[in-house]
Structure 1
């Protein structure tokens, strides 16, 4: 057997090292570069993305990726005011039919009710999309509370004037947040809602003021049942104003706008004064 000379071994090692260090030179151009995994998404990433949104006066429709990698689509309505030393109330306005399957534009139904209804008090309005789930779910609880935290941190929000508002399923959501997040919300305005405030017939105490509007001819959620729950909660000490809208049914949210304007006035004169 022939002996391999030391110089040949050295040349062989040099060729091997050259090929390893220049692997990309000979890489097949049809093979994409490897994806670098930056690790799981963090709340700091969510904060940075929200901070980078350029919210302008009027309607802003945006989508945010949460820490689980899921999308939150929501509308932010900025009032036309001077924000210098002028933090604004924040209204979380929740749409109806929350569990009617995923509706990509459900959160955009603000033009005929929430926008004109709250116009006089010039709040910032955030209208989230329920993603096909009821508002009192873990997922939507997380979404709403996170959006409020982000708004407080990055928008000119008066944290003492945060309101839960909604219609139908959204009204139920406003009841839910009034009852479970009373340290965060200053008031709630449920409209055409259906929220049992009793346990074994005894009304539960809701810690914050509530202004309830319900249609007289609501066939989906009968007014008599809602009235009974409200009365039971008031008996237990809740501060609830109950307004019956004569002739109105469940399926005409735009026709409730004048009642929402009165509720907005109630916020200013009875809750925040």
Structure 2
């Protein structure tokens, strides 16, 4: 089912690209297009530091997200883009605003642009969230000083599952995935683990009781046997409910990106 959902949303995003300039009914049709999103996003001003933004999507619902801009000279200096996905929040309006917990300090050495969307009370592979994450990634690559070869999807808990999902399904957008405290498994009908087509750096707490380490280890072993490039790092002594304590492990992941991926 996840694969089918991905296919439908990919068609939607692709259609938006192909048809946004050919909508002859724009005066009578209330449906927004990708061109509308482009215009709105391109008109935004992003200052160094935290920028909290709301955009209208294709159906006039709101996308709430945060963009953290490094304080650097962007002249001939496009930066990595980190798309970071929060854990399940039950629909908390500020779930995307906890970038100072681990994402900002974890990726600080990269001087990266950090994009943190709010997934509401849905999981990240649900169609609405797929549409938001994919389109925001594309818009950031178009209108922000992003190095398109250095785009990473990261997340914690349900966000970690999202990082796995987008790593598996959208290698054309992301160069690496960094799931944390995740529970994922993607298998073919014959039981063989699917290949994740981009490098993945997995961080998992030793004492995670919600998503036990042995389950993640089993999935990692299976997908490596299928040909995936996956590194699993165990966070000694850490549980599932202390995401901010994973910062040093995320800093090691940033080093991995520079040393082995880019």
TM-score, with structure 2 as normaliser: 0.87
Equivalences for residues 147-166 of structure 1 within 5 A: 147-166=136-155
Residue number in structure 2 paired with 1:91: 82
Residue number in structure 1 paired with 2:98: 109
Distance, in Å, in 1 between the alignment partners of 2:79 and 2:184 is 29
Q: RMSD of aligned C-alpha atoms?
A: 1.4
Shift of 1:39: 4.0
**Which residue, 240, 248, 251 being the options, matches 1:258?**
248
Residue number in structure 2 paired with 1:209: 199
Deviations 1:185-223 (A, max 9, x none): 100000000001334542221110000000000000010
Residue number in structure 2 paired with 1:176: 165
Equivalences for residues 28-177 of structure 1 within 5 A: 39-97=30-88, 100-177=89-166
Distance, in Å, in 2 between the alignment partners of 1:254 and 1:230 is 24
TM-score, with structure 1 as normaliser: 0.83
Residue number in structure 2 paired with 1:190: 179
- The answer on whether the counterparts of 1:178 and 1:206 sit within 8 Å (CA) in structure 2 is yes
Is 1:222 matched with 2:212?
Answer: yes
Shift of 1:255: 0.3
Deviations 1:169-199 (A, max 9, x none): 0000000000000121100000000001334
Distance, in Å, in 1 between the alignment partners of 2:31 and 2:193 is 44
- The answer on whether the counterparts of 1:197 and 1:230 sit within 8 Å (CA) in structure 2 is no
Bigger radius of gyration among the two: 1
State the SS of the aligned residue for 1:40. coil
Shift of 1:152: 1.2
Q: What are the ranges of 5 or more consecutive residues in structure 2 without an aligned counterpart?
A: 1-26
User: How many residues get paired?
Assistant: 235
- Judging changes above 3 Å, is the alpha-carbon distance between structure 1 residues 41 and 52 closer, same or farther for their aligned structure 2 residues? same
Residue number in structure 1 paired with 2:24: none
Q: What are the ranges of 5 or more consecutive residues in structure 1 without an aligned counterpart?
A: 1-35
Distance, in Å, in 2 between the alignment partners of 1:146 and 1:197 is 24
**Which residue, 220, 224, 238 being the options, matches 1:248?**
238
Distance, in Å, in 2 between the alignment partners of 1:47 and 1:229 is 38
Deviations 1:32-70 (A, max 9, x none): xxxx97743232222111111111000000100012100
- The answer on whether the counterparts of 1:197 and 1:232 sit within 8 Å (CA) in structure 2 is no
State the SS of the aligned residue for 1:203. coil
Structure 1 stretches of 4+ moved >3 Å:
36-40, 197-201
